[in-house]
Structure 1
Amino acid sequence: MSERLQRNQLVIEEFRSAGGVVGGDFEGVPLLLLTTVGARSGQPRTMPVTYLREGERLVVFAANGGRGSHPGWYHNLLADPVAGVEVGTETYEVTATEVEGAERERLWARQLEHTPYFAGFQERAGRRIPVVALTRTARL
């Protein structure tokens, strides 16, 4: 298991054991656990992801820490937009939709207000970071 996957696993365990609260680098940052189905493997994949609440939707950003490629969860959602989220102590199913145009720009600007370091991710990535809305479909 890579160092990054090990670190993510520790965040996931802390999130679940502390009712959705995580310390360290993520202290005070809105964090959810996103479970997608692997596009190639067909296996469930869970990742901690920063989010922005937009009314009833949760909005996530495929920043991948400023890497030049999109994160695996984004590719998984393109293949199958149905996913599971854990927010706090709640778990439910969502459908993912990529947000484009003026709405994408508005949501990106809101995210930068809350987490200004995302601007650095955009610069380092050298790509347009996708914005994805997660809409609740059912309780798991």
Structure 2
Amino acid sequence: MKKIISTTNAPAAIGPYAQANFANGILYISGQIPVEPSTGKLAEGIEKATHQVMKNLEAILSEAGLSFKNVVKSTIFLKNMDDFAVMNDIYASYLDAENFPARETVQVSCLPKNVDIEISMIAHQF
């Protein structure tokens, strides 16, 4: 049985999907873009955008009773791979260096709302 996870501390879904689904101890988080949930404004520039995406992911994890320590897999979509180093440093700062998740990072031609970054995650309740 799945449980839909939703919080006002992360942006509302902009389509027919849930922020996250919890099923059999696994949390599947939909891709998060750099929308500030209280204002609906986009964080601009890869530094601010990456921080905002990570804060949105953290809010969803928290709503499910989890943290970044529970994340087992991340998928990162970048509009420009030249932003990789900056994004990577910020992303790593939110995670436990002893417990990094599996990950792939891909460059894409366009993302929702024409943002520079989107990240989805899978977390496991240990």
When normalised by structure 1's length, the TM-score is 0.33
Q: Give 1 or 2: higher helix fraction.
A: 1
- Rg bigger for which structure? 1
Q: Give 1 or 2: higher strand fraction.
A: 1
